[in-house]
Amino acid sequence: MNFLANKVAVVTGAARGIGAATAARLAADGAAVAVLDLNEGDVEGAVGELVKGGATAAGFPCDVSDSAAVEKTFEAIRTQLGPVGVLVNNAGVLRDNLLFKMSEDDWETVMGVHLRGSFLCAREAQKSMVDQRWGKIVNLSSSSALGARGQANYSAAKAGIQAFTKTLAIELGPFNINVNAVAPGFIETAMTRATAERIGVPFDEVKESSLHEIPMRRIGQPEDVAAVISFLCSDDASYVAGQTVYVTGGPAS
C-alpha cells in the first residue's frame, strides 16, 4: 500500500525499537521518512537500513527536548524532504526509581523528553499540516500511564501524553488533522531489555513471567505497535481522533 505517497513522515526516537519499526512501516506505506534520534551514528545506521530497502529517508540528530534544536531540525526537514504530513512522537527515556530514591534530574529528564519533546515537535509539525489542511499526529503513551511501581515520572509523563493528545485533537481537528495516541504494553525492545539488566533479572525470565499476564500469551514486538500507528495514519482512520489505543495483547488494566 502507498497511501502515504508524496507525504513526509517524521518519527522521533527512530533509530531502534518501536521507532525503527514505525519508520520502516511508514516507508512501506509510501512516505518519505525523517529519522530523528539523539545519536548521529544511530541515525545514520537507521537511515541506511531504510534506504537499502528502497525507501526515501533522511536522518536528523536532534534532542527533542531542546526548543532551538527542534525548530532547526524541522526547518531542515521541510527544506530537504518537504512539508511534514505525519508526526510520530516516539522518543523516550527511562529513569525508573522509587519515589524516595528518585532525583529531580530523573523527573525532569523524563518529562523533558516525553512531554516537552512531544509538545515542541507537534508545535513545529502542525505548521505544515494546517497549511495543507491534512495531517496525522500519533503520540506514544504507555500502559504505564495507568500506574506502575518505580515509574512515577514515566507514568505521569505517559498519562500527560494522553491528555495532550485529546487537547490537540480538539484544537487541530478543524484543520483535518487527526491526533491520536498509542499505548504499548510490554514490547520486546532494547529498552525493555536494558530495564531487566538494570534490575538484575535475566530478560528471558522477565518475558516468561510477563507471558502469564498477557491474554494473547506472547510478547509484543515493535511491529505490532507500528501496525497500529500505520492504521491511525491511514484514511481508514480519518474519523478517529483524540483516542488512545492500547496495544497490550489484552485489555488494559
The model's pLDDT over 63-82, given as tens digits with 9 standing for 90+, comes to 999 999 999 999 999 999 99
The average pLDDT across 8-37 equals 98
Confidence of residue 130 (pLDDT cuts 50, 70, 90): very high
Distance CA 145, CA 7 (A): 31
Which uninterrupted H or E stretch holds 208? helix 203-211
Q: Are 64 and 117 in contact (CB under 8 A)?
A: yes
Among the listed residues 60, 74, 107, 154, the single catalytic one is: 154
| Average pLDDT of the segment spanning 13-17 | 97
Per-residue confidence at 199, pLDDT binned at 50, 70, 90?
confident
**pTM (two decimals):** 0.97
Instruction: Cell 505521569: give the residue.
Output: 156
Q: Where are the alpha helices (DSSP H) in the chain?
A: 17-28, 40-52, 67-80, 104-111, 117-132, 152-172, 190-198, 203-211, 222-232
What the block records as the C-alpha cell of 88 is 510520530
Contact 15, 35 (CB under 8 A): yes
Q: What is the pLDDT of residue 62?
A: 98
| Predicted local confidence at residue 207, as pLDDT | 86
Angle at 73 between CA 8 and CA 20, to 5 degrees: 55
User: Would you give the distance in Å from CA 46 to the centre of its chain?
Assistant: 15
| 154 in active site | yes
